[in-house]
Amino acid sequence: MKPNRPNALGRSLVRFFHEYLPTLRGMSEHTIHGYRDAIVLFLRYLSEDTGHPVDRLDLSNINAEVVSQFLSYVEEKRGNSINTRNARLAAIHTFSRFLATDHPEQMIEWQRILALPFKRGARQAPIEYLEADEVKAVLDRIDRSTEAGRRDYALFAVLFNTGARVQEILDLRPCDIRTQSPYQVRLTGKGGKVRFCPIWAQTARLLRELPQFSSDIEDRESILFRNSHGGKLTRFGVRYLLHKYVVAAAKDVETLRTKRIHPHSLRHGTAVALLKAGVDFATISQWLGHSNLNTTMIYARADMDIKRQALAQVFPEVLATPPGSQRALTEFNLIHWLRKL
């Protein structure tokens, strides 16, 4: 039996991931991986839908109807959110735009796919984050007598400290860390943007004590956080570790039993803590590496203590009338109060 030769779909996928996304679009490795995961999921769905192995699929199997069915599958069968559904569609849209230039003879079909709309109505779910006592409970559950435990403790300490994205921390090298005052880490975020984030002296010490931290110039370019096999620790590995420690800590802290904590929850916790401390939104935005200040504003709606503080600042004057007084607010007083809101 002759081996399958690369067909039009196979050749297009190679050019899409090796040329179009990294070179022409200049997308980051993290974004490309996200697109890859979306396309892989779509190809697997397409394989089941057509009954053909993935390696025998071709461009003729891709059309607007099957993409629409795939999006329904993502929501209804996989139970993904509307945001995830839209992220999958964004990847397929980008691939369709590429195909429009790579295979213009099928332009009508690519245009039909591009006409598929993003789904509206995605509601912002309440942000789940860790309070100070919950952070302590999670860290206390890590066994620091083992090398793996010391790695995990340092990993979650720097995540709590910086509020960085998990991938930003997993990409850290010893040369990115300043372990002398002023203590700081250099983070590479989305789009390759570099920013510096201060860390506590205790965090710097934890990182310096890791086996991978070395004064050797060559070693200082290597990855800091590694798995048990010596390879780079992954986001899925971090999710697994966090879940393990949260489940253990929930035995002591009741509030952890009802929260759905994931690695990004650590980032949310840092943002809310900064907001509670009175740090302004612009500084928090720079701290977290947000490209848009509106992204940072979601934390103003997240914390109940902040809402209580706002309530205390607004309403006491209005409710200050002594008991038994029947004096109503005049039009002037009402307008004055509204202007103060």
Q: What are phi and psi of 48, to 5 degrees?
A: -70, -40
**What would be the CATH architecture of the domain defined by 8-114?**
Orthogonal Bundle (1.10)
Please give the CATH number for the structural domain made up of 132-302. Answer: 1.10.443.10
Q: Note the pLDDT of residue 319.
A: 44
264 belongs to the catalytic site: yes
Q: Which helix (H) or strand (E) holds 38?
A: helix 29-50
268 belongs to the catalytic site: no
Print pLDDT tens along the chain (341 aa): 455 677 999 999 999 999 999 998 888 787 888 899 999 999 999 999 999 999 899 999 999 999 999 999 999 999 888 888 999 999 999 999 999 999 999 999 999 999 999 988 655 566 788 888 899 999 999 999 999 999 999 999 999 889 899 999 999 999 999 988 899 999 988 777 889 988 989 999 999 999 888 655 456 668 899 998 888 999 889 999 999 999 999 998 999 998 888 888 888 888 888 887 777 778 888 778 877 766 676 676 655 555 455 445 444 444 444 444 444 444 444 444 444 43
Cα–Cα distance between 197 and 183 in angstroms, integer? 9
Q: How many CB atoms lie within 10 A of CB 35?
A: 21
With 0.85 as the threshold, say if the pTM is over it.
no
299 belongs to the catalytic site: yes
Please classify residue 218 by burial: count the beta carbons closer than 10 Å to its beta carbon, then call 0-12 exposed, 13-18 middle and 19+ buried.
exposed
Cα–Cα distance between 176 and 196 in angstroms, integer? 9
Domain boundaries, the chain: 8-114, 132-302, 304-341
Q: Which long-range contacts (CB under 8 A, 24 or more apart) does 253-258 make?
A: 253/133, 253/134, 253/137, 255/131, 255/134, 256/134, 256/137, 256/138
Cα–Cα distance between 233 and 129 in angstroms, integer? 23
Sign of CA dihedral 234, 236, 237, 239: positive
Please classify residue 283 by burial: count the beta carbons closer than 10 Å to its beta carbon, then call 0-12 exposed, 13-18 middle and 19+ buried.
exposed
Cα–Cα distance between 84 and 132 in angstroms, integer? 30
Query: One of 73, 165, 183, 268 is an active-site residue; which one?
Result: 165
**Three-state SS at 58:** coil
**Three-state SS at 283:** helix
Q: In what order do the strands lie in the sheet with 194-198?
A: 177-178, 184-188, 194-198
Q: Which helix (H) or strand (E) holds 195?
A: strand 194-198
Please give the torsion angle defined by the CA atoms of residues 156, 159, 160 and 161, in that order, rounded to the nearest 10 degrees. Answer: 120
Cα–Cα distance between 216 and 178 in angstroms, integer? 15
Query: One of 85, 93, 151, 267 is an active-site residue; which one?
Result: 267
190 belongs to the catalytic site: yes
Query: One of 190, 208, 239, 276 is an active-site residue; which one?
Result: 190
Query: One of 195, 235, 259, 264 is an active-site residue; which one?
Result: 264
Query: One of 20, 45, 245, 299 is an active-site residue; which one?
Result: 299
177 has which bridge partners? 185
Q: Do domains 8-114 and 132-302 have the same CATH topology?
A: no
Cα–Cα distance between 128 and 130 in angstroms, integer? 7
Q: Could you tell me how far CA 333 lies from the centroid of its own chain?
A: 46
Half-sphere exposure in the Cβ direction for 79 (13 Å, CA): 0
